[in-house]
Structure 1
Amino acid sequence: MNKKWTRVTKNLWVLVLIGMISVLAACGNDANASGDVDENGWPKKISYGVLPGEEEELSRAHNLFVEDMSEALGIEVELFQGEDYNAVIEAMRSEKLDLASFGPFSYIIAQERSDAIPIAVRAKDEEDATYNSWIVVPDESDVQTLEELEGKSILFADPASTSGHLFPRAIFIDALGITNDEVESYFSSVSFSGSHDNSILAIAAGDADAAGVCSSCVERAIEGGMVSESDFRIIAESDPIPSSPISYRADLPESLVEAIQEFVYNYDNEEFFEKAGDADSRYIPVDESDYDIIRNTAEALNMSPEELLNQ
């Protein structure tokens, strides 16, 4: 009898110990979780991603922006610059990024993969909240028209670039009457430079016959002294493209999103806007529907985002 109860007692103690270990583990997990958030339920650190580029003043502007955001929010804001567009998209998909300044097409992809939501674009006013894609050639080139680029080299910025890939492809398709599949065979070579800055520098150096670049990127490069207007010529221009939006991951706490929006919409650091390339600009709200032209253009190319990224 005593032996029987001894076995029962031992078994009970085992169950009690297992229960205590489970409770302690759960408490430990809760403690770890609470250690990553503040009293508002906000993460103690968030990350802000930007696309690759080389223009120094713009890089300084990004650093200034995250410093000001950190001070306004009262939490650490870390800057992340991707090696390519897909790196920024994937960083948000894997929840390593909370915010990002996407290009219009990379935003569309980020929306599909991680439910990114646009907040604002930098512009003087709503009418100024667009830019264009340019097809440029070296100034000394004999090429005057798109037709004369047949059999020559073309440089795009990045597979996920709106004005450095998506819209330039559409320009050639519409103007030349070729299909998307025929774009590659139209040229002697099709390459990606990694950024608009790289493409602009390659054209200035005569290292490519043509390139698709964003108009504002070229203007900023000229202002920054990277190139001069005499280094290139514009032979084609796209329709207006909605500007690059700051976007956030949809699962952020609502109160944090509201605080970020308040900071962005009221941001007035003149030094930042000067370094970003336009002292007269500010951040104005945008909506998902503003980017329907990007979605429609991608659909017109009859290529999925994955196919465009894998070019």
Structure 2
Amino acid sequence: MSLPTGRWIGSGLAPMSLLAALGLAVALGAAPAQAQDCPDRGALDSMYCDRDGDLVADAPSDPSKLVNPDTLVFAYTPVEDPAIYADIWQPFIDHLEEVTGKEVRFFAVQSNAAEVEAMRSGRLHIAGFSTGPTPFAVNLAGAVPFALMGAEDGRFGYTLQLFTRKDSGIESPEQLKGKTVAHTSPTSNSGNQAPRALFPAIGLVPDQDYEVVYSGSHDQSILGVVAGDYDAAPVASEVVERMAERGLYDPEELRLLYESKPFPTTSYTHAHDLDPALVEKIKEAFFSFDMSGTALGEEFKGVTKFIPISYKEDWEVIREIQEANGVTYTQGNLK
């Protein structure tokens, strides 16, 4: 694998996209033969198989197709400032290198589609996928979720919050009728899919009762509301809390109109074709890492460690929301 030197792989996506496209062509060429060998794959792409019914791709049965690279590439979900997050993740990356005995490089991604594409093409080995795109990563890229950030007592989750400016004169969701509301991106759970599934129950139908515009990210949605560009925005609670802590906006300028029940947070996944022995080392690194006193622990308040998860069980509510929205896991829908 040829990658730029240094721990932070820049956010330019053209080289990665080209490599991904080449990998995709090879993988798709092998799909028909694999399709004949797989008795059941559910919603998984034809590149993968799910013989044990856990809804994620099985590891290749042919040992020669298992991957054990000298350098592991790790990515975190697209965020407002990738350079900052490269530094925040460095203590964990150091720990991951120590436990696995591998060099680890941080790859900064600019979009959910690029992150899924990178894992699908075999250029990304470990990744954090945000809540909504996780099922796309599972079904299109063979991502296997195994952990997320949680509290000491095992609790985890975030909520969908709907904000407007405090001086907007809007005091309830129903008053957004005829207004402009910023959703983040089509695949985002709290930024788009959940509002479309949950808002009708509170008397608000996106695209029908208000105009939907896509901001591109949670931080852009909030900053747009603060600036008066949008009348309101549904966002993930964990993102806006971190933004407030960094002084990116003044919470006193906003009014909370609605809050949902908790959803699972970013899933941490490994590529389905990694050598099982390497997978065990990766899991050991995640579950033995103590966030206390680290930059990671400071950034993600309220969590202290990585905890094990089940995609089949813990993402059930997300799959239900996406099903209610008519979502199918295709590359076209991801983009």
User: Which bracket does the TM-score occupy, shorter chain normalised?
Assistant: 0.7 to 0.9
Task: Answer yes or no: is 1:71 the counterpart of 2:71.
Answer: no
**Partner secondary structure for residue 193 of structure 2:** helix
Structure 1 counterpart of 2:75, one-letter code? G
Matched, 1:81 2:108: yes
Higher mean C-alpha displacement, 126-135 vs 258-267:
126-135
Matched, 1:244 2:270: no
2:293 corresponds to 1:293: no
One of 207, 211, 233 as aligned partner of 1:211: 233
1:138 equivalent among 129, 149, 165? 165
> For residues 88-107 of structure 1, what are the structure 2 equivalents within 5 Å?
88-107=115-134
Instruction: Name the one with the larger helix percent.
Output: 1
Letter in 1 for 2:215: S
Shift of 1:95: 1.4
Q: Distance in 1 between matches of 2:208 and 2:120?
A: 34
The equivalences for 1:120-159 within 5 A come to 120-125=147-152, 128-159=155-186
* Deviation for aligned residue 1:174: 2.5
* Comparing 288-297 and 155-164, the one that deviates more: 155-164
What is the DSSP-based 3-state SS (H/G/I as helix, E as strand, rest coil) of the residue aligned with 1:186? Answer: coil
Matched, 1:260 2:285: no
Deviation at 1:176, TM superposition (A): 2.1
Check whether the contact 2:72–2:103 (CA below 8 A) recurs between aligned residues: yes
SS in 1 for 2:133: helix
Instruction: Give me the whole-angstrom Cα distance separating, in 1, the residues matched to 2:112 and 2:166.
Output: 29
- The answer for the alignment partner of 1:192 in structure 2 is 214
CA shift for structure 1 position 296: 0.8
The structure number with the bigger radius of gyration is 1
Alignment gaps of 5+ in structure 2: 1-65
Q: State the SS of the aligned residue for 1:233.
A: strand
**Equivalent of 1:49, from 71, 75, 90?**
75
- Contact persistence 2:264–2:315 (CA under 8 A): yes
* Alpha-carbon distance, 1:279 to partner: 6.5
Question: 2:117 is matched by which residue type in structure 1?
Answer: E
Identity, in percent, stands at 30
| TM-aligned CA distance change 1:280 to 1:87, over 3 Å | closer
Aligned length: 266
Instruction: Specify whether residues 201 and 41 from structure 1 end up closer, same or farther in structure 2 by C-alpha distance, changes over 3 A only.
Output: closer
Match of 2:224 in 1: 202
**Of 96-105 and 71-80, the range deviating more from structure 2:** 71-80
**Structure 1 residue 164: Cα displacement:** 1.3
Deviation, 1:125, is 4.0
Query: Given that residues 67 and 273 in structure 2 are in contact (C-alpha distance below 8 angstroms), is that contact kept between their aligned partners in structure 1?
Result: no
TM-score (norm 1): 0.79
Cα deviation, residue 239, structure 1: 2.0
Deviation at 1:253, TM superposition (A): 0.5
Q: Which runs of 5+ in 1 are unaligned?
A: 1-39
Using structure 2 for the length normalisation, give the TM-score: 0.74
Report the counterpart of residue 296 of structure 2 in structure 1: 273
Moved more, 218-227 or 63-72: 63-72
* 1:173 alignment partner, one of 180, 183, 200: 200
| CA distance 1:135–1:62, shift in 2 (3 Å) | same
The DSSP-based 3-state class of the residue aligned with 2:74 is strand
Distance across 2 between alignment mates of 1:249 and 1:196: 27
The alignment's C-alpha RMSD in Å is 2.2
- Aligned-partner residue type, residue 111 of structure 2: D
